Structure 1
Amino acid sequence: MAANDSIFLHAHEAPGQHSVQRCDVCGQDVPELDASPACPQCGGLLAIIHRAPLDSMGAPVDAAALKHAFSQHCCARPAGHASGVWRFERLVMPTAGAAITSHPEGNTPLMARARVSAWAGCDGLLLKHEGYNPTGSFKDRGMTAGTTQAVRTHATAVACASTGNTSASLASYAAQAGIPGLVFVPAGKVALGKMAQTLAYGATTLLVRGDFDECLRLVQEASRELGIYLLNSINPWRVEGQKTIVLEVLQQLGWDVPDFIVLPAGNLGNTAAFGKALREAHALGLIAKLPRLVSVQAAGAAPFARAFREGFRERHRVQAETIATAIRIGDPASWDRAVRAIRDTNGLVLSVTDDEIIDAKVQIDAAGVGCEPASAASVAGVKQLVRDGIINAGDRVVAVLTGHVLKDPGMLVDLHQERRDFAQANRPVEIEASVAAVAEVIASRSGARA
């Protein structure tokens, strides 16, 4: 078991500090404003431990008061936080103050779509679409917190390794904060939409001859040796931002806990963040029970799913290959934290094939929602669990869509315009400039639907 099993700081711990960074492995505490990328004593991952929220008299704040406080922040109330992350400031970074760097982000929709629910076989399926964040993915939630910490620690530069979404987000937030950004991406393996964002926002982009895991190794070395502030999901403040996905879902549901929360899984940062959010919400009395977390990996990048089937007896690493580039990761960095999240919630880990991901994506896209391929893994996972009798048709299930449909336009063009073996392709039709030609297409499409 990890050394860091705390949920909140006790009264005698870290006097004078609202939060500390605590090593998962050895339990060493690091001051809140220390910019170390890992534990200086043993190299373990750091996690943020806060004091439980207190009122002006120093007494614990009850759940009803916290819920009321959260409800006072929304886009319609200029005096509060418009951000769906900083609405939960007391649980994310209580002392952030004027350093907050926000677009704002969050406030993403929770959607019901009959077409997707029917395909998955779950009437109670809801889609939490994180693609509605400013740069088109959930990464903005973690990046607003990580960049705010970079501002607080006077970082001279920020950096990350990325399969695309993290680099786009870092580039945007670094530009807003006025801090140079450096991104390490695997050469030839980043979707066009994500690369375009990174370049447009002005980050220095390094194309590394290797996969994501090689990029992460390199950026960690550069962070240690060159003093660059690391903003991958192993950064503990990134986790604090990403856990607000769950807090926002719970608030949107009136704090009525769903039966399952299903999410795509690559580097396992979200799995870890979701587990931390649920533990804290339960400890504070915001929720009465824990939902089951389900992490869904692509079959070609599924070391965590394999370990789950074996009871997490061994950590596995694979050479990752999948159409879902955002989760094409063979050696997940947040492994131990994700194991804890799955165990704490009686959760599940499974894998879905690329064909299953594409089938789910087609349904999501055709429902007018749209998502990048990795996002569709969550809905494909729901369908698999319904088929296996684990999710019932009437269960309330939240499937997280992590990225926008335009994150991978190349894949869409290939699927609908180039591939001749894809029966559901929606190919564009070239016509003469006449109403008769338009009528002919309408008639042919009407006949096909009939």
Structure 2
Amino acid sequence: MLINQVRRNHRDRWDCGGNRLGIGGYVFKCPRCGYETEPSPINFTCPRCGSLMEAVLAELTRDVRFRYRRRLGVWSYVQLLPRPRVRVTLNEGGTPLIKIGKGLYGKFEGLNPTGSFKDRGMAVGVSLARSMGVHSVVVASTGNTAASASAYGARAGLRPIVLLPNGKVARGKLIQSIVHGASIMGVEGYFDDALTEALEMFKSGKAYSLNSINVWRLEGQKSIAYEIYEEVKVPDNVIVPVGNAGNIYAIWKGFWELMQAGLIDKLPRMIGVQAEGAAPLYETWRRGVDSLIEVNAPRTIASAIRIGKPVNWLKAIKAVKTTHGLIVTVSDGDIMRARDRLARRGVFVEPASASTYAAYLKLLREGVVDSD
């Protein structure tokens, strides 16, 4: 009983009020049943249906003004972000668009501090954690999230805890977590099993979750859309690799907010990419069902998208459907060939990132997209 009470007190201390944490300008809305409530830094699921909530800006006025800056970055868009008392940053964001071909650009997120787009989300998530008085943060990861959470946790003076599926992690990315002083724990099974353990630690009050179940992390990642807008306005298509499915939703949300603010009058078509051996979202979208078709043993060379039970699947489906988009699968062979083709053009990416180029080539052959 004492342990349960201590855990509950930890959670009570963390939930220290929306206005105090700079999230008072938001409302939580359920994408499934429409239930609305006040925002919270810790309670991310709908009390009615159990779905993950969306963090929606309550008053998105039309006085939002962007101007081209020499250095773009996540916190330069603070008008559309949470405003925690403490801002933790490693100068994330501001990544370039690299021309790949005629009318085709790659958003090179590898130039973020730890080498992935996760740094955008961690800047916001860790800032909230630091403002809340959290001492430890926890993530499940196959590599990128671990590196990012470890770096930003260390930057904020917090203890990072990383749960990894044994034997299914990119070793090069794991080195970053080790050097940043993270506590690393192995879990038998897949990423989804590690995530279950990480969420148990969060629910018990042992550590604050920075996986994409945390809606505030996705708020940082939506800055990708703002930067694309500042450089090329609204593209016809945005192709995104899909693992836990948070990023495709976050990018869609960024463009949706730009439209609500009157800065754009259309949304890009959102296209999600999954590997053939790890395609729960594709199967769910293809069959048109209203519950996730899980993959219990996902398999692909692209470890960053080797996820069988994406927690943000409902939000991702929303992003695809509202833009008349689609979800496509590619084989591991397609992924590696696409990686090699990009490398011959001077652009080196990991397999998960190469999946987007593989998808583009596939859709180009099928006439779904064009090269103009």
Bigger radius of gyration, 1 or 2?
1
Q: 1:389 to 1:31 in 2, by over 3 A?
A: closer
How far does residue 29 in structure 1 lie from its aligned partner after superposition? Answer: 1.7
Q: 1:329 aligns with which of 307, 311, 318?
A: 307
Conserved? CA contact 1:74–1:84, under 8 Å: no
1:384-395 alignment, distance < 5 Å: 384-394=362-372
Structure 2: any 5+ residue segments left out of the alignment?
1-22
Query: 2:51 maps to what in 1?
Result: 44
Equivalent position amino acid for 2:161 in 1:
L
Q: Which residue of 2 aligns with 1:88?
A: 77
2:231, 2:92 → 1: CA distance? 16
The residue type equivalent to 2:63 in the other structure is: D
1:256-295 correspondence runs (5 A): 257-295=234-272
2:279 pairs, out of 262, 279, 302, with: 302
Counterpart residue type for residue 381 of structure 1:
A
Q: What is the aligned partner in structure 2 of residue 35 from structure 1? A: 42
Shift of 1:42: 5.5
Q: Check the 8 A contact 2:143/2:173 in 1, yes or no.
A: yes
Matches within 5 A, 1:6-405: 17-25=24-32, 27-32=35-40, 34-39=41-46, 43-53=50-60, 60-62=61-63, 66-68=65-67, 71=68, 74-75=70-71, 84-93=73-82, 95-96=83-84, 98-113=85-100, 117=101, 123-253=102-232, 255=233, 257-318=234-295, 319-394=297-372
- Closer/same/farther in 2, CA of residues 143 and 125 from structure 1, 3 Å limit: same
CA distance in 2, matches of 1:40, 1:223: 17
Is the 8 Å Cα contact of residues 62 and 260 (structure 2) preserved in structure 1? no
Is this contact kept in 2: 1:187–1:207, CA < 8 A?
yes
8 Å contact from structure 1 (residues 243, 276) kept in 2: yes
CA deviation digits over 1:410-430, x for unaligned, max 9? Answer: xxxxxxxxxxxxxxxxxxxxx
Separation of aligned partners in 2, 1:125 and 1:295:
16
Q: Is contact 2:244–2:309 with CA below 8 Å preserved after alignment?
A: yes
Q: Output one character per residue of 1:26-50: Cα deviation in whole Å (capped at 9) or x when no partner.
A: 5242445x43354466543232222
Could you tell me how far 1:259 is from its partner in structure 2?
Answer: 0.8
How far apart in 2 are the matches of 1:339 and 1:42?
17
Shift of 1:208: 0.7
Equivalent position SS for 2:185 = strand
CA contact (8 A) 1:275 1:340 kept: no
Query: Shift of residue 314 of structure 1?
Result: 4.5
Cα offset, 1:17, TM superposition? 3.2
2:78 counterpart letter in structure 1: E
Query: 1:399 maps to what in 2?
Result: none
Q: Tell me, yes or no, if the aligned pair for 1:104 and 1:134 is still in contact at 8 Å.
A: yes
What code does the residue aligned with 1:17 have?
G
Q: Report the Cα distance in structure 2 between the residues aligned to 1:141 and 1:281, rounded to whole angstroms.
A: 18
Unaligned runs of 5+ residues in structure 1 are: 1-15, 54-59, 76-82, 118-122, 395-450
Give the Cα–Cα distance (whole angstroms) in 2 for the partners of residues 20 and 154 of structure 1.
23
The number of residues matched between the two structures is: 348
Residue type of the alignment partner of 2:287: E
Please tell me whether the aligned partners of residues 95 and 112 of structure 2 are also in contact (alpha carbons under 8 angstroms): yes
Distance 1:30 1:62 in 2: 24
Q: Which amino acid letter does the alignment assign opposite residue 321 of structure 1?
A: R
CA contact (8 A) 2:225 2:252 kept: no
Deviations 1:84-140 (A, max 9, x none): 1111111121x23x4110001001010113xxx3xxxxx211111111100000100
SS for the counterpart of 2:94 is coil
Aligned residues of 2:27 and 2:36 also touching (Cα < 8 A): no
**Which structure is richer in relative contact order (CA contacts within 8 A, separation 6 or more)?**
1
C-alpha spacing 1:269/1:140, structure 2 compared with 1 (3 Å): same
Alpha-carbon distance between aligned partners in 1 of 2:129 and 2:49, rounded to the nearest angstrom: 23
Shift of 1:305: 1.1
TM-score normalised over the length of structure 2:
0.89
Instruction: Provide the alpha-carbon RMSD of the alignment.
Output: 1.8
Q: Which amino acid aligns with 1:86?
A: W
The residue identity in structure 2 corresponding to 1:244 is S
Distance 1:290 1:23, change over 3 A: closer
Letter in 1 for 2:37: D
Structure 1 pair 155–23 and aligned structure 2 pair: CA distance change class (3 A): farther
- Separation of aligned partners in 2, 1:160 and 1:106: 21
Paired with 2:51 and 2:190, the residues of 1 have a C-alpha distance of: 23
Alignment-mate amino acid for residue 76 of structure 2:
R
Greater CA drift, 323-332 or 148-157: 148-157
**1:21 Cα deviation after fit:** 3.6
Provide the secondary structure at the position in 2 that maps to 1:226.
coil
Distance of 1:91 and 1:298 partners within structure 2: 33
**How has the CA–CA distance of structure 1 residues 109 and 164 changed in structure 2, closer, same or farther, with 3 Å as cutoff?**
same
Per-residue CA distance 1:333-360 (angstroms, 9 max, x = gap): 1011011100111111000000000000
Counterpart contact for 1:37–1:230, Cα < 8 Å: no
